Structure 1
Amino acid sequence: MLNKLSIKQKIIYWNIFIIILFTLTLIYLGNASINRLMDEKRTQLRNLSNALGAVVVQYIKLEKEGKLSHEEAVTRVKTTVNAARYDGDNYFFIGDYDMRQIVNPKRPKDDGVIQSSAQYKKFVEISLKNTGPEFLSYFTTKPGSTENFPKLTYLIPIPEWKWYIGTGIYIDDVDRAKNNNIIQLVTITTFITILLMFGGTKIANYISKPLSNLTNLLKESSDKMEEESTQLTKMSEDVGKSSNEQASSIQGTAAAISEVTSMIARTSTLTFNSEKLSQTINNRTEMGNTAVKDMVSAMEAIQEAGQKLSEIEAIIIQIENKAMIINDIVTKTELLSLNASIESARAGEHGKGFAVVAEEVGNLAKTSGKSSNEIRDLLNKSREKVKSILELTISRVTEGQSKTIEVSNIFDQIIIDVKEINTQMSQITEATKEQEIGVKQISEAMTKIDLSAINNLKSAESSIRSSSKVLEISHALKTISSKTEEIVLGQK
């Protein structure tokens, strides 16, 4: 039965089984959760009522101990009950055995008023039995509504004050929660059903379509293999013919490669000689570069000598300044000689000897002044000459130094280029040697190819036998593809 189903149908039936199983599980869990919800509500009512009952009992104890009067204890209980709330706006109430309402936060106007509703009679009956707390179900109106609703109340008798304390919940709130759970379960079941059916269909398509395509490809491959095996037989016969032609061509190629090998050996020798010549040029260029650097050092020494000339110019300027001081002394000496002549003229006969001395001093001062002026003129000419020589020397030295540095830079670049040429020549030499080795290997390979051509002829004969085996394999593939199609699409 299952063999007649395709993979897609098997997956879809399996998903339907999973959906049914999941739905039954959700129904069981939903019923359990609804029952658990009702039990939780009952437990909540019991715990909250017991807690408030314990508070009332505590106030009764304080009254018995005389710490509070009956009125004070009742007032505090009423205040506590009026303020107590849970789950939003749910409340507690108190009544007495005379069916009188003591506290009801929702109907404070009826406090102290006797109630005639049927549930109050049941409250009193339960309290008078004095058998302890008890649950009670009945119908009553909701605050703000005139319609009756089912309600569950938990009642605790307080025999000391002939009271009962109670609180309750409307069953329709629980029913509403049940309905919400049912809606959620139906929604989840529907969503999972759609997801499983859609996903199962998609997965089935993802599996069955590629497998279906695979079976088609297997059929096509087996048909093509059958055609190719026929062509392979023919090609094997052609390979046998071409192998003979290939052998003769390989022999001619081997002779040509031998000639190329001899030419590469000659090129290798010439390359080695070029490398040695490049090394010699490199050495001589480095020697020229050393000479140029020595020239640069000499030009720097000449520049230092020019700086010494500038120092001589400074010394000449100092001498000129000293000559100007001598000139000032000569001027003052002439002035003193003139004053001495005047004083000797005033002295008369007694000053004649002094006048002669004054005249000689004046003549000496004039001679010294003349010599001082000549020295200053010579110093000016010497300073200008030294300055012009210094400027010319600095100009020529700077120009020579610039040219020398330029030549040195050119030599540096030539050395770099020569080294690069030397490196390239070394690489060419190595490459030529490798080419020579490679050509020899090619020659050996051609010999092996010649042997392979002979072997190919033998292999062609083997290929003819193999092609017949391939034809048998193609028939086997066709059988396999048929069986795969039955697995994927089912038996037809």
Structure 2
Amino acid sequence: MLKKLSIKQKMIYWNALVVIVFAVTLVYLGADSLDEMLHEKKIQIKNLTESVAGIINSYIKLEKEGKLTHEEAYNSIKTAIYAARYDGDNYFFVGDLEMHQVINPKRPKDDGVVQTLPQYKQFVEIASRNKGGDYLSYKTTRAGSKEEFPKLTYLIPIPEWKWYVGTGIYIDDIEKQRNKIIVIDSLITIFICIFLMGGGIFLANFISKPLAFLVKELKTSSHTMEDKSNNLTTLSKNVGSSSKEQASSIQETAAAIAEVTSMIARTSALTQNSENLSSIINKQIDMGNHTVQKMVTAMASIQEASQKLSEIEHIIIKIEEKAKVINDIVNKTELLSLNASIESARAGEYGKGFAVVAEEVGNLAKSSGKSSDEIRDLLEQSRSNVKSILELTVARVAEGQNTTEEVSKIFTEIVHDINEIHIQLTQVTEATKEQEIGVKQISQAMNKIDQSAINNLKSAEESIISSHQILDISIDLKKIATATESIVFGEKIA
């Protein structure tokens, strides 16, 4: 229901509701204000009566002290009560326990006269109890009127002079005061109602007219933004599709280049391994060549050793010659020993000692001859062995030397070929490394292009998202414009 109302109508209805609530509150407060005002009046007349009672007691005290006569005190009290007025025309009165009216500013002619009205009996009863002040409600006539009106009175006993003093207020005076306040409040309410209605209409027009213009502009802008966002979405989708195709092609190219790079890297690694193996083989061949050279040197040493064996053979021959000389000496010694034995035998008893020496020399000569024969046999055997070893060694050395020279020549040729292969492999490795570097640079460039294409694709996707968001914003703006329009002018029935 409220959605169908314009902002002006809503403000008018709202102001009317405020006025109604204010009026109801005013009526409620007016009904409650009577009790509140009556309570305030009761407190007021009590306080005022106590003040007047205090004045009376002060004059009575002066009389007791002898400062005033009874007549002077009475006249002073009468003067004070006649002068004491409140709320315009309200007054105080004094009576005694014998139902006489002592002082009454409104009816001075009745002072000293016994009163027969029923409320005076109630006044006497309250004063006779002498328990302090008390309230009394009753009905009585007004001055100049025969109609009775409800009245509220407050009395305080004056026991020293058997008096009571009091004052009262008419309840209808309070009602008149309340009605006066209600009238004033009603006028204020009417003024506020007129002010709120007029101000509401003015404020509604002041708000709704600019809002109407803004709503119109907002709807136009939302339509324009919607069209632009649709175009942007279409363009972003086209860019995104192209970017996807470009990214796919670049990824395939990058994959092919990566595969080529991998193959070149493997070739480079294999070439490097071949180069390393070539270097290792070259080093091993160098070591073999050095070994062959050492073998040649060793063969030369063996040949020198065979020469030494020849020299040993010559020494053994010389030893055999010396052994022959020893054998000759041994033979001669034996012969000499035999001759000595013969000569000792001839000498008889004198040649026995010499015969023993000759016998021992003969034994030594035999032993030496036997050892000489053994040495000769050993030398003969050694010479034969040395000669056979020497002949075999010479033959083997000659054969080994020839073989070593051939191996040395072959190793020299292999070293030369391996060096050539090593040089070529080095060149191939350098060329492969250059190719690998070039392909890596191409791969890096393709990766950058691929990254750029991915970024373009992301940008295109973000553009699509942004265009959708702009479209959503334009739709939201359109909804806001429609909602604002319904708020300003009320919801239109389709």
Structure of higher CA gyration radius: 2
Shared fold, TM over 0.5: no
Alignment TM-score, normalising by the size of structure 2? 0.44
Alignment TM-score, normalising by the size of structure 1? 0.44
